[in-house]
């Protein structure tokens, strides 16, 4: 079995930012109400000329440039998204825009756990020697599936894309030290984006369902309780299984859903605030994009350096959650 090397990152965010104050012009809310409950002060929203494919492609292109890779050297593009431009898959369009003609490309849907699940999935192809290089992209455009008149959900979500380039290496240089994944479909209704229930008659006595989806629906209290219970538990299990003490971690990189969740998980692990990576205030919850965007910004800022040990966790709809422990080996800015 081969090892996994983390080589480079990329990110792409829409140019349009909507502050809490601006959002309060549409719904009955305020900057204080949103910040005190979530830690969010603004979110990015895709403009008319931007969509999931363009954002994902831009993030992937930057990761390839920083890795110094020819796009044709890629074997795999794995796009984690729950909001594709095409229900048949957006990854092949990303492959075409990148010019990665030798890569197989497909989507993986696991909502806010998507990037972590995609990273773990892609690493298995590399470990076996079946593939040598992979580009893992997390991207979502949830602004098109939000009810902008529902202040309980519309304040939370934003659009964006992040990417990480990984390649196979010798087992002695392995950067992916362990992982855990879990799902509990019994709680799926706590966070969902369901199909519409309307139907159309085809011929007398026979009807078919109309395509389309309802806005995002969430039981915020239940999702919060789930996250603060399961995320510390899966991280503690992972650290124990790898013989890693929490104090040995350089960084805690969680899905950016709610600042209170980030704080609660860090407290359970006994980690200081200085070791918790967070950009939630500026972007809101960008679903599958949060972890790779945060990683990219931390690398660019010189916070994450080669050799740093990172514990990461994704969690969300499904309900699904997981954790990974990796050592960063990519370039510095």
pLDDT tens string 160-206:
999 999 999 999 999 999 999 999 999 999 999 999 989 999 999 99
Statement to judge: residues 76 and 144 lie in one domain: yes
Statement to judge: residues 140 and 100 lie in one domain: yes
Q: Which of 142, 173, 204 is the last residue of a domain?
A: 173
* pLDDT above 80 for 332: no
DSSP label at residue 211: P
Question: Which among 112, 154, 169, 190 is annotated as catalytic?
Answer: 112
Q: Which domain holds residue 83?
A: 3-173
Residue 196 inside a domain? The answer is no
Assign residue 275 the CATH number of its domain. Answer: 3.40.47.10
- Asked, as a colleague might, if the bond just before 319 is cis with ω within 30 of 0, I would say yes
Query: Residue 160 to residues 25, 56, 259, 269: CA-CA distances in angstroms?
Result: 23, 8, 18, 29
* pLDDT above 80 for 287: yes
Please report, for the chain, how many H helices and E strands are present, in that order: 10, 15
* pLDDT above 80 for 333: no
Burial class (CB in 10 A: 0-12, 13-18, 19+), 263: middle
Statement to judge: residues 17 and 159 lie in one domain: yes
DSSP label at residue 147: -
Statement to judge: residues 37 and 76 lie in one domain: yes
Residue 305 inside a domain? The answer is yes
Can you tell me whether residue 253 is helix, strand or coil? strand
Q: Torsion over CA of 62, 65, 71 and 73, rounded to 10 degrees?
A: -130
Statement to judge: residues 219 and 181 lie in one domain: yes
Contact 123, 4 (CB under 8 A): yes
| Count of the separate structural domains present in the chain | 2
Mean pLDDT of 257-263: 97
Mark whether 51 is an active-site residue: no
Statement to judge: residues 27 and 142 lie in one domain: yes
Statement to judge: residues 33 and 92 lie in one domain: yes
Q: Which of 112, 141, 173 is the last residue of a domain?
A: 173
Query: Residue 37 to residues 220, 231, 257, 274: CA-CA distances in angstroms?
Result: 11, 19, 11, 21
Mark whether 296 is an active-site residue: no
**What percentage of the chain exceeds 70 in pLDDT?**
99
Residue 16 inside a domain? The answer is yes
pLDDT of residue 315: 97
Cα atoms found within 13 Å of the Cα of residue 80, Cβ hemisphere only: 30
Statement to judge: residues 154 and 180 lie in one domain: no
Residue 43 inside a domain? The answer is yes
| Summary mean pLDDT of the chain | 96
Q: Which of 269, 229, 225 shows the shortest CA–CA distance to 251?
A: 269
In sign, the C-alpha dihedral spanning 88, 98, 81, 325 is positive
Question: Which among 154, 258, 285, 296 is annotated as catalytic?
Answer: 285
Statement to judge: residues 164 and 268 lie in one domain: no
Assign 330 a pLDDT band (cuts: 50, 70, 90).
confident
Q: Hey, what are 175's tokens?
A: 């950067």
Rounded to whole angstroms, the Cα distance separating 84 from 48 reads 16
Mean pLDDT of 289-298: 98
Cβ neighbours, 10 Å, residue 197? 9
Residue 95 inside a domain? The answer is yes
57-89 pLDDT, tens per residue? 999 999 999 999 999 999 999 999 999 999 999
Can you tell me whether residue 31 is helix, strand or coil? helix
**Residue showing tokens 């590399």:** 126
Q: What are phi and psi of 8, to 5 degrees?
A: -165, 165
* pLDDT above 80 for 96: yes
Residue 206 inside a domain? The answer is no
Contact 218, 153 (CB under 8 A): yes
Residue 207 inside a domain? The answer is no
Beta strands per DSSP E along the chain: 3-12, 16-19, 42-45, 76-80, 104-108, 133-141, 159-169, 176-183, 191-192, 199-203, 206-209, 217-218, 251-254, 309-316, 320-327
Alpha helices in 44-134 (DSSP H): 52-67, 91-98, 114-127
Statement to judge: residues 137 and 264 lie in one domain: no
pTM: 0.96
pLDDT of residue 165: 98
Q: Which of 152, 173, 194 is the last residue of a domain?
A: 173
Mark whether 112 is an active-site residue: yes
pLDDT of residue 331: 76
Assign 55 a pLDDT band (cuts: 50, 70, 90).
very high
Residue 287 inside a domain? The answer is yes
pLDDT of residue 200: 93
Statement to judge: residues 29 and 124 lie in one domain: yes
Q: Hey, what are 11's tokens?
A: 């990110």
Longest dimension (CA), the chain: 68
Alpha helices in 39-90 (DSSP H): 52-67
Q: Which uninterrupted H or E stretch holds 212?
A: none
Question: Which among 20, 169, 255, 296 is annotated as catalytic?
Answer: 255
Statement to judge: residues 117 and 220 lie in one domain: no
């Amino acid at each position: 079995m081969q090892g996994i090397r983390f080589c480079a990152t990329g990110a792409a965010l829409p140019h349009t930012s909507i502050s809490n104050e601006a959002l309060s012009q549409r719904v009955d809310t305020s900057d204080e109400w949103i910040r005190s409950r979530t830690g969010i002060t603004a979110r990015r929203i895709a403009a008319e000329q931007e969509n999931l494919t363009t954002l994902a492609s831009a993030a992937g292109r930057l990761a390839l440039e920083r890795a110094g890779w020819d796009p044709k050297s890629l074997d795999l593009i794995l796009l984690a998204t729950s909001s594709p431009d095409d229900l048949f898959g957006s990854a092949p369009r990303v492959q075409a825009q990148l010019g990665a003609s030798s890569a197989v490309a497909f989507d993986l849907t696991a909502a806010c756990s998507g990037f972590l699940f995609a990273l773990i999935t892609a690493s298995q192809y590399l470990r076996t020697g079946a593939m040598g290089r992979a580009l893992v992209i997390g991207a979502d455009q949830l602004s098109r599936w939000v009810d902008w008149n529902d202040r309980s959900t519309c304040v939370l979500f934003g659009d964006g894309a992040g990417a990480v380039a990984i390649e196979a290496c010798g087992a002695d240089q392995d950067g992916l030290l362990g992982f855990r994944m879990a799902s509990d479909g019994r709680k799926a209704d706590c966070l969902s984006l369901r199909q519409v229930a309307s139907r159309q008659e085809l011929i007398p006595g026979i009807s078919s369902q109309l395509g389309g989806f309802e806005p995002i629906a969430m039981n915020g209290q239940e999702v919060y309780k789930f996250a603060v219970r399961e995320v510390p538990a899966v991280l503690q299990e992972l650290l124990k299984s790898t013989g890693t003490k929490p104090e040995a971690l350089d960084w805690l990189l969680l899905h950016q859903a709610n600042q209170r969740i980030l704080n609660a998980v860090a407290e359970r692990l006994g980690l200081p605030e200085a070791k918790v990576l967070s950009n939630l205030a500026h972007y809101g919850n960008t679903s599958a994009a949060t972890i790779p965007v945060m990683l990219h910004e931390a690398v660019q800022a010189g916070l994450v350096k080669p050799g740093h040990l990172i514990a990461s966790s994704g969690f969300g709809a499904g309900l699904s959650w997981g954790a990974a422990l990796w050592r960063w080996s990519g370039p510095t800015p």
